[in-house]
Amino acid sequence: MTRVEFDVFCKSLKVTTNVIQWGNATVWKVGGKIFAICSHWGKGDHQKIGFKCSDFSYLVLIEQDGIVPGPYLARAKWIQLENDDAMSDEEIRAYITEAHKIIASKLTKIKQRELGLLPS
């Protein structure tokens, strides 16, 4: 998945915002909370996609080739894809969708209603 494809997909999710920060990383948020990042952190000069996972997914994913605990965010159960072969684009989209849901569910109910994520 290219950075452009990553950005287009993240933008398609409900009530997301995007900022460029941390040395040109594209950072996607819901309700002001980060759910996915595309950056050049770590070794190598190619892009790396990172996202929030469930506790179980985190434990499974970090055991796979090309997937590592997310730099600076591992304690919060984030992973980072170290190469383009680590996951298919379909898998990346599914995990990013789940990351969006995880982060959105952690917002207060008031904030979720304000954003239209819950019925009024």
Predicted pLDDT of residue 41: 59
The whole model's pTM is what?
0.92
When pLDDT is cut at 50, 70 and 90, the band that residue 30 belongs to is very high
* Distance of alpha carbon 39 from alpha carbon 2, whole angstroms: 11
Query: d(Cα 27, Cα 6) in Å, to the nearest integer?
Result: 11
CA pair distance 85, 66, nearest whole angstrom: 7
The band of 100, judged by pLDDT with boundaries at 50, 70 and 90, is very high
3-114 CATH, one of 3.65.10.10, 3.90.1150.30, 3.10.450.50, 3.40.920.10: 3.90.1150.30
According to the model, what pLDDT value does residue 47 have? 83
More confident residue, 93 or 43: 93
43 pLDDT above the threshold of 70: no
Mean pLDDT for all residues in the chain = 92
Domain boundaries, the chain: 3-114
